[in-house]
Amino acid sequence: MPKNPTIEQVPITAKNPFVLRVNLSQNVPDVEARAALASGDMGFLHSFTTGSTVDGPGVRVVAWTSGCLFRCLYCHNPDTWNMKNGLPVTVEKATDELRKYRFGLKTMSGGLTISGGEPLMQHRFVMKLFRAAHAMRIHTALDTNGCLGDRLSDEELEVINLVLLDIKTWDPERHRHLTGTDVGPVLAFARRLAARKRPVWLRYVLVPGLTDDPDDIARIAQFTGELGNVERVDVLPFHQMGRYKWNELGLNYTLQDLAPPSEELVERTCAQFRSAGVNAY
């Protein structure tokens, strides 16, 4: 890629989501951006990546959207907070990109995962892309923080094969401290998915000193077990791959020297979920 690429030269694909991408939609007028959000005909994407084995079943193509309402202290992709950091991509272009991988995805029992950022910031675009995936018989998964779940109708929930739901913490005050937002809508979405018997994988980011409180984890584990639709829990150990993004963006990163959780802590956390009757890895 050239040193100072124009928008047209920025590839839609990236090696991984840890590539820093900023200001890719700065020339899209606000009125056009609002129209895109209203119609879903265009979305704002950090990138597509391929070959993921950790974002749903099988081998996945992941579309990383830009835009997020949360401000997680441990976010590893803070360049996705601002929607206009993403590349403007039409549904047609995104569908064409996905089409390239359709046979491989089926062979490897994978599919399309839409992650972020928070995909439901652009729920109309997301649903159009999921419907296009289904037309190609590609499995669909939504990786979401859940806070905008009420943007999806019951009918739209049926189109999504799997929801990867992130629960950050149970305690409302801690949730506000960690993310800047309320936990209520997240838990309400989890309950709604359970009521509609939609398959869910829960994702729990384990951050030493922030999300390792055994009582808090026990409460989430109990909740997860009671829901009845959570097929597995993925305990995701905190890492520092996003630290350079915070520094490059001039953001105040308070976890500069924090080490990842120990194997023992990860295992203790998995054991807490297992004791509530759910598979945890």
Q: With binding defined as CB under 6 A, does residue 49 bind ligand SF4?
A: no
Q: Return the number of other C-beta atoms located less than 10 Å from residue 187's C-beta.
A: 18
Give the Cα separation of 54 and 234 in Å (integer). Answer: 9
**Among 14, 45, 63, 72, interactor with ligand SF4 by CB under 6 A:** 72
Please report, for residues 75, 86, 113, the alpha-carbon distance to residue 19 in angstroms, rounded to integers and kept in the order given.
Answer: 14, 12, 18
Q: With binding defined as CB under 6 A, does residue 122 bind ligand SF4?
A: no
- SS3 letters across 181-223: CCCHHHHHHHHHHHHCCCCEEEEEEECCCCCCCHHHHHHHHHH
In whole angstroms, how close is the CB of 269 to ligand SF4 at the nearest point? 18
**Among 79, 97, 118, 234, interactor with ligand SF4 by CB under 6 A:** 118
Closer to ligand SF4 by Cβ: residue 177 or 197: 177
Q: With binding defined as CB under 6 A, does residue 87 bind ligand SF4?
A: no
In whole angstroms, how close is the CB of 80 to ligand SF4 at the nearest point? 5
Please answer whether residues 176 and 155 qualify as being in contact, where contact means their C-beta atoms are separated by less than 8 angstroms: no
Q: With binding defined as CB under 6 A, does residue 189 bind ligand SF4?
A: no
Q: How many CA atoms lie less than 13 Å away from 220 in the CB half-sphere?
A: 33
Q: With binding defined as CB under 6 A, does residue 149 bind ligand SF4?
A: no
Contact residues for ligand SF4 (CB under 6 A)? 68, 70-72, 75, 77, 80, 116-118, 145
